[in-house]
């Protein structure tokens, strides 16, 4: 399977790229608005993987090219770039492409971070609205600790809640997630249930800020 990580040069994108390349046999393509930036990062990831004895090719392309051949396209971009990014790749997507959205909208004030719920109901729903009608959208990877994800020495031991209205697409993302060591996919139902997942991310930041020895947190349902 070919996995395109758009915004794969950013923190969550980097972590997912490294974990998919390290833990699975799937092809990983890094997408960015600038192809050269994607290529540079792809080389960095290859070097990191090579230093751990994993020789794989990681490709870097602009977002549209990265999406073209991909079976799964992960929109690892900030929430405010989500619609633009989907527009830029819309012509490359088909009904067999699964679009995955991990983006969360947050705002910060003197008390801490807060979930910034968009009018669409969730950022995941925003992505679904922006996507071509025949392309299935799945929400996943919303609450991952970027630093630990990108550090292949770090154990995860956490969950990611997955939402989607297309059972096959949810199944594809669930199986991919299971291949990442220490990351457990849990089914949270339809896309309409995304907001409560997204809201966990600002809470994790608040908890990390207010407690010693807790940082770069994920969540586990148990």
Select the span of 9-17, 26-34, 50-58, 156-164 touching a copy of itself (CB under 8 A): 156-164
Sole binder of a copy of itself in the list 1, 88, 114, 120 (CB under 8 A)? 114
Among 73, 125, 66, 119, CA closest to 98:
73
**Stretch near a copy of itself under the rule CB under 8 A, chosen from 13-21, 33-41, 72-80, 107-115:** 107-115
Q: Could you tell me the smallest distance in angstroms from the CB atom of residue 140 to a copy of itself?
A: 13
Distance set, CA 207 to CA 185, 211, 216, 218 (Å): 22, 6, 10, 11
217 binds a copy of itself (CB under 8 A): yes
Which among 143, 123, 117 has a CA at the least distance from the CA of 207? 143
Q: How far is the CB of 205 from a copy of itself (least distance, A)?
A: 10
Tokens of 184: 């457990």
Spell out the alpha helix ranges (H) of 24-97: 35-50, 63-68, 82-89
Stretch that binds a copy of itself, among 64-72, 76-84, 133-141, 182-190 (CB under 8 A): 182-190
Question: CB-based contacts of 102: which residues, under 8 Å, 6+ apart?
Answer: 12, 16, 74, 75, 76, 139, 140, 141, 142, 144
Residue 100 CB, nearest approach to a copy of itself (Å): 18
Asked if 91 interacts with a copy of itself (CB under 8 A), we say: no
- Report the C-alpha gap between 2 and 190 in whole angstroms: 25
153 binds a copy of itself, rule: CB under 8 A: no
Q: Whose Cβ is closer to a copy of itself: residue 133's or residue 212's?
A: 212
140 C-beta neighbours (distance < 10 Å), count: 28
Locate 11 and state its tokens.
């923190």
Are the beta carbons of 75 and 99 closer than 8 angstroms?
yes
Of 19 and 41, which has the nearer Cβ to a copy of itself? Answer: 19
Stretch that binds a copy of itself, among 19-27, 47-55, 129-137, 195-203 (CB under 8 A): 195-203
Give the residues lining the site for a copy of itself (CB under 8 A): 109, 111-112, 114-115, 157-158, 161, 186-190, 192-193, 195-197, 199-200, 202-204, 206-207, 209-211, 214, 217-222
């Amino acid at each position: 399977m070919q996995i395109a990580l758009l915004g794969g040069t950013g923190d969550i994108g980097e972590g997912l790229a490294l974990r998919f390349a390290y833990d699975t046999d799937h092809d990983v393509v890094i997408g960015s608005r600038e192809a050269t930036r994607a290529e540079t990062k792809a080389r960095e990831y290859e070097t990191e993987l090579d230093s751990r004895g994993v020789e794989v090719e990681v490709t870097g392309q602009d977002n549209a090219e990265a999406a073209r051949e991909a079976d799964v396209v992960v929109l690892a971009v900030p929430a405010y770039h989500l619609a633009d990014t989907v527009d830029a790749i819309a012509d490359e997507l088909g009904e067999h492409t699964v679009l995955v959205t991990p983006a969360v909208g947050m705002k910060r004030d003197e008390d801490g971070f807060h979930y910034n719920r968009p009018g669409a109901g969730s950022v995941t729903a925003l992505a679904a609205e922006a996507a071509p009608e025949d392309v299935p959208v799945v929400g996943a990877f919303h609450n991952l600790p970027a630093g630990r994800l990108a550090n292949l020495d770090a154990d995860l031991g956490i969950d990611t809640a997955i939402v989607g209205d297309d059972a096959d697409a949810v199944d594809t993302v669930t199986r991919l997630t299971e291949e990442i060591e220490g990351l457990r996919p849990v089914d949270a139902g339809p896309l309409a249930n995304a907001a409560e997942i997204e809201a966990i991310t600002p809470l994790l930041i608040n908890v990390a800020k207010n407690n010693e020895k807790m940082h770069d947190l994920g969540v586990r349902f148990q």
